[in-house]
Amino acid sequence: MGNNVHELSDAIAYIASDELWIEGSAIQQLHTTANLPGMHRVVGMPDLHPGRGYPIGAAFFSLGRFYPALVGNDIGCGMALWQTDILSRRYNADKFEKRLAALDDAATEAWLDEHLPDSLATHPWRSALGSIGGGNHFAELQQVDQVFDNARFTLAGLDTQHLLLLTHSGSRGLGQSILQRHIASFSHDGLTEGGGDATDYLAAHDDALTFACVNRQLIARRILQQVKASGDAVLDIAHNFVEACNIGGHHGWLHRKGATPDNRGLAIVPGSRGDYSWLVQPVPGESSLCSLAHGAGRKWMRTECKGRLSGKFSPAQLSRTDLGSRVICRDKQLIYEEAPQAYKSVDSVIHCLVQAGLVEPVARLRPVLTLKTRGGKNA
């Protein structure tokens, strides 16, 4: 790996470059995590930023036990990319914005009856399927801006003439309920591998992984139907989960909290809603705990965004970006929290990953239209 890897100790490293600022509190949270019983190694990615007690944008490898609190409440959250049949040159921004603005956050029961796979037809959380959710989740139509590796791009079934659709969402209330149940019984303690409690958690965790994957498919299907288009899934990769893994000759548990696996083929690293997304070919390696950045990473805490931006921008102004794209977000608090200014530059994150020898760029994608929750708060 390149010189962008900072080894703080045998157990702690983070990947950053001179132009990429990482908060001291996020580094401190890496140390906190490294001190958990059984923790063997932790690695912060270039999008590392502080979370609630544990950092986001990091991977954690433990021996003998694993930690549901490190995975967090959005088990299975990830990215899915679709090649659509929407011709870029025929795209009409006003028409598409109007159509997608009319799409309800939640799918109707009748729509779910028609589209849910049988395995999820009676799932307790079925009504959340097909919905994006809040926070940093979104769906986005994108145009191919540049292709750096034609062979890989074409092999993936992609072309430059049509728009792509990216969906970013997770397991919604299901993942939250699984974490709450765990915290109520075990606080932030880990679970010893092989025990009944560990087995129970992993079964619930795997259900949430499947739920989140299907959710991204259903979100894409609802959006494509709404704009009278069709498409094919190109990739779907989760970045919040835990799995049994062999690293450095050790059999243990690899937790990813906002970290994309490097061994699932092509990956997408999205920027903010006013920034590019990058399609990359990961270069697998154990020193980064088989992981890479999952996005641009926050620069500002959510609580400070409105104060920093509301004097300069109205919500209407934030619904247009410097790249010429549009954002549909009726939640006036959220549009400030998710403003491009609140995020790091995705190009600097990608540059850092390239310098560290972790990815090879395949294509850069420009946002065209971003859909977030219509929201109730302050809407």
pLDDT given at position 29: 97
Which is nearest to 320 in space by CA: 335, 334, 333, 331? 335
pLDDT given at position 5: 87
Catalytic residue among 49, 162, 255, 294: 294
Query: Is 376 a domain residue?
Result: no
- The annotated binding site for GMP is made up of 136-140, 239-240, 277, 294-297, 372
pLDDT given at position 375: 60
pLDDT given at position 330: 87
pLDDT given at position 4: 84
- C-alpha triplet 74, 235, 82: angle, nearest 5°: 100
Cα separations in angstroms, 163 against 141, 159, 302? 6, 9, 31
Residues of the chain with pLDDT under 50: 1, 376-379
| Count of the separate structural domains present in the chain | 1
What φ, ψ does residue 17 adopt, rounded to 5°? -130, 175
Tokens of 367: 């946002």
Query: Is 378 a domain residue?
Result: no
Query: Is 44 a domain residue?
Result: yes
pLDDT given at position 342: 94
- The annotated binding site for Mn(2+) is made up of 137, 168, 239
Query: Is 137 a domain residue?
Result: yes
**Residue 178 is part of which domain span?**
5-371
Cα separations in angstroms, 281 against 51, 87, 147? 27, 25, 13
This prediction's pTM: 0.96
CATH of the domain at 42: 3.90.1860.10
Q: Is 294 a catalytic residue?
A: yes
Query: Is 377 a domain residue?
Result: no
Query: Is 47 a domain residue?
Result: yes
Question: pLDDT tens across 15-32, in order?
Answer: 998 888 788 999 999 999
pLDDT given at position 373: 84
pLDDT given at position 378: 31
Provide the 3-class DSSP secondary structure of residue 248.
coil
Query: Is 184 a domain residue?
Result: yes
